[in-house]
Structure 1
Amino acid sequence: MKAIVHDESGSADVLRITERPVPDPGAGEVRVRVVVSGVNPTDWKARSGGYGAMSGTETVPNQDGSGVVDAVGDGVGGLSVGDRVWVTLAAYQRPGSGTAQEYTVVPVQRVFALPDGAAFDLGAAVGIPAITAHRALTVAEGGPTRLLPGALAGRTVLVAGGAGAVGNAAIQLARWAGATVIASVSSEAKGELATAAGAHHVVTYGSGSGDVAAAVRSISPDGVDLVVEVAAGANAALDTAIIKPLGTIAIYANNGDQPFDLNVREYMGLNARLQFVLLYTLGWEKLREAGDDINAAIADGAFRIGDAAGLPLHHFALDRTADAHRAVEDGATGKVLISVLET
């Protein structure tokens, strides 16, 4: 089978296409014929050595993907050969199981049925972005631990970076769950994407954009219940200016790498909760619950991708995986997908 591999850290130039044997699933594992592989920032950061230097092991990149169950190992229930599925965290602690290859073998816990009518592109686009968004939306004190219609009714959510993949997912899931959704973006063009995703209100920051905190307070005078935060350092002062007492700031990234200076007195005065979000140490039970909720939103038609949903798609062939990684690393707006199998 064709696979993209690398055995050293570095730029996208370390990626190469090769032939590997088709792996067999062991007990509790599923083999998936990959149709589409999704690329996330975590993929290029891992490849470049951002999480530590590689040991020289041949590694297949990309955590997310979609395809068709090709074989199942002993003890696997709930999935059969021929089922359409999406997978996430495929390469976590399994360097040979990334989705940038024609077949991958992963533990059954990482495999979710793809709802009827959902395209493989959508299956490859959910994964890490959507589960991250789900986690951020379910960590507030007194808030829901699962998402469904009405779960966030009466709550106001600010999604920072509403045009990104996680931001887009957070907007769609929060709106589906009944929240009032405010998105902050860096340009009018990105504001149009956030609106397409379903944000009720969009606030633009940057040159000439005015006071973001005042704009948010004009929409929600008492402040917001929850912030889904992509740039903790840059937005620290803003977050304390717009969060309600007992509100929650769910931090899944620090884009821009500005140091996060924690003003203890301000956060303490607000009784605010700071919740950091990282899927790798979340636990499979919570990941499974998130995947099930995301599938429910997909089945309801409430989770979509593409221009009409505010998430433009960028397709690459498998032999152009390096270009796909470069696109994400360079900040492509939307979702980068690799067509592994032409359907």
Structure 2
Amino acid sequence: MRAVWYEETGPAPRVLQLGEMDDPQPGPGEVRVRLHASGVNPSDVKTRAGLRSPIAFPRVIPHSDGAGEIDAVGEGVPLSRIGTRVWVWNAAWRRPFGTCAEMICLPEAQAVALPDGTSFEAGACLGIPASTACHAVFADGDVTGQTVLVTGGAGAVGHYAIQLARWGGARVIATVSGPQKAAAAEAAGAHAVVNYREGDVANAILSANSGQPVDRVVEVEFGGNLPVTMAVLGEGGVIASYGSMADGEPKLPFYPLMFRHTTLRMLLVYLLTAQERAQMITRLTAALEEGALSHAIAARFDLADSARAHEAVESGHMIGNAVIMID
């Protein structure tokens, strides 16, 4: 099979290699997926760059997200799974070989049925962005009748969080950094959009909610946004955070949070429990089958252009996901 790999960390053009590897064979309990699309996430490029830890294996095929068709199964897996369209999760999490290749073998539970109306390129966005959004929105219960604040509403996770919260019956307010991103958040379905670089952000959020506090925050920047969050979150509110790059060690206002009965949820989608994963997949599948989700594909690349895909993600300029098409 053709695959892209690296054997040392560093800049994408220098370390990513395209070549041939033996076709993988599924072991007991595994399926082999012939991949049609591979999603490139910020975590993938940070790992390849060596920003998180030294390289974990002698050779690494990057990318945790992808979609394709099962073409072989291992012992103990029903033959009926062959031919199934699937999306995969955690393909490169604590594993050497991810989805930037023509094939992948992995435990059958990590290959989830892809609804017929969802394309492979969309399926390559479900493992991290959509799953993170779905868990952040619904992990603490239904949102019907609530107001959900989605920070970074034009980001890959924010795009899905807006749609899922609205699908779940919530009023959705999104924050963005400029007009182009505001248009993206509005297109995703946000009821109101606030530019966090202009004016009194907290007051603008409250005004967008008829002066009332919000019930939940899907948070891309916990530390940096904490002063605004404290000003807009109501009693019994939830902060579900998946990032805090601007302030990695924020000072926590414990008693103000405690006296509002606040729930702080720090989430890492790779580490969902089996029960959390199952609940998230059930919700996400239902939303997909109901046609409630659009998918923001900002750029498509060929397998041979994987380095350019990594550089595009690193640039921070894309509004949406980068996907490598493998057909």
- Provide TM-score, normalisation by structure 1: 0.91
State the partner residue of 1:160: 151
Letter in 2 for 1:247: G
8 Å CA contact 1:236, 1:261 repeated in 2? no
**Which residues of structure 2 form unaligned runs of 5+?**
none
> CA separation in 2, counterparts of 1:170 and 1:215?
20
State the partner residue of 1:188: 179
Residue correspondence of structure 1 range 287-306 to structure 2 within 5 A: 287-305=277-295
> CA separation in 1, counterparts of 2:157 and 2:4?
25
Moved more, 50-59 or 179-188: 50-59
Q: Compared with structure 1, are the counterparts of its residues 134 and 312 closer, same or farther at alpha carbon in structure 2 (3 Å cutoff)?
A: same
State the partner residue of 1:148: none
Letter in 1 for 2:214: V
Shift of 1:50: 2.6
Work out whether 1:338 is the aligned partner of 2:327: no
State the partner residue of 2:212: 222
Shift of 1:56: 4.9
Total equivalences in the alignment: 324
> CA separation in 1, counterparts of 2:43 and 2:67?
18
Shift of 1:111: 0.8
Letter in 2 for 1:212: V
Superposition RMSD in Å: 1.4
CA deviation vs aligned residue, 1:217-268 (integer Å, no higher than 9, x gap): 1122230110000011110100010000110111101133464221223212
Moved more, 17-26 or 255-264: 255-264
- Provide TM-score, normalisation by structure 2: 0.95
Moved more, 109-118 or 78-87: 78-87
Q: Percent identity of the aligned residues?
A: 44
8 Å CA contact 2:297, 2:323 repeated in 1? no
State the partner residue of 1:147: none
Residue correspondence of structure 1 range 175-254 to structure 2 within 5 A: 175-206=166-197, 209-220=198-209, 221-254=211-244
CA deviation vs aligned residue, 1:285-340 (integer Å, no higher than 9, x gap): 322321222111111010111xxxxx242001101111111111111221100011
CA deviation vs aligned residue, 1:133-157 (integer Å, no higher than 9, x gap): 11111233xxx2xxxxxx4211110
State the partner residue of 1:315: 300
State the partner residue of 1:81: 82
Letter in 2 for 1:302: A
**Which residues of structure 1 form unaligned runs of 5+?**
145-150, 306-310
State the partner residue of 1:277: 267
Q: Secondary structure at the match of 1:18?
A: strand
8 Å CA contact 2:73, 2:79 repeated in 1? no
